[in-house]
Amino acid sequence: MDPNGASAASNPVTRRVDAARRARERTAPLRCACYAAWSELTASPHDIDTRHSLRDKLGAATELGYDARLDQVIEAYLQLEPAELKRQYSGLFEVGSDGPPVPIREDLQTGQRAGTREDLVRFYDYFGYGLSENFAWQPDHLSVELEFMHFLCFREAAAERDWASYQLAQADFAERHLLNWIDRLVTEVDQFARDSLYARVLHGLSSFVAEDFAWQSGTIAAAEGD
């Protein structure tokens, strides 16, 4: 079965991944680190302290050949005290009499379209990605979606066979659950706090996801005979 519930027989694979262009042994671990870093940068600083972990990920995007914006964002993040990180995050994404000024969840950003959360859960369940009790109620949180991309990259790097399913899932998930709402989130954050750290984080993330999706697409082609 695929994440949409269709069997392999009724929905044959019509795409292939160019192994030489993908060079997964080199790129998958680096992309894994990058997506983990973006997940940590967009997670609530009230829940976890990610500063030590983020230091370990400096340089990953540069090694990929992407721009150095991730390093710049990490360095800016590390310069702020935890109390200031919490103040900025809460003011944008968590506090408000009518809800947060800027929802950082896909379902809320896209007008609570029917099937969004269900599609996310199908992806997570199919690939064995388990959410902790603290996050099970918000599978559409941006940090969780980025963590899932990290998970898929990790599985791509670790797989001894059948790694193409993880590669194709990354492209599908990015298109359906990242590219469709991150730019809207960037615009809203700019309206409320253009000079904040999190505006900088989201601008960098938007650029990274678009660039990474373009790179992924360049490694995927229609299977011969289709």
Asked if residue 80 belongs to a domain, the reply is yes
Contact residues for 76 (Cβ-Cβ < 8 A; gap 6+): 197, 200
Asked if residue 1 belongs to a domain, the reply is no
Number of domains in the chain: 1
Residue-range definition of the domain harbouring residue 182: 15-222
Cα gap 127→129, rounded to integer Å: 6
Average predicted confidence (pLDDT) for the chain? 89
**pLDDT band, very low/low/confident/very high, at 2 (cuts 50, 70, 90):** low
Strand partners, 99: 97
Both tokens of 183, joined, read 């730019």
Q: Which of 40-44, 49-53, 94-98, 192-196 has the lowest mean pLDDT?
A: 94-98
Asked if residue 7 belongs to a domain, the reply is no
Asked if residue 6 belongs to a domain, the reply is no
CATH number at residue 28: 1.10.3480.10
For 12-24, the pLDDT digits (tens) are 458 999 999 999 9
Q: Greatest CA separation found in the chain?
A: 58
Asked if residue 19 belongs to a domain, the reply is yes
**pLDDT band, very low/low/confident/very high, at 111 (cuts 50, 70, 90):** confident
Asked if residue 33 belongs to a domain, the reply is yes
Asked if residue 122 belongs to a domain, the reply is yes
For 124-182, the pLDDT digits (tens) are 999 999 887 777 778 999 999 999 999 999 999 999 889 999 999 999 999 999 999 99
Model pTM score:
0.90
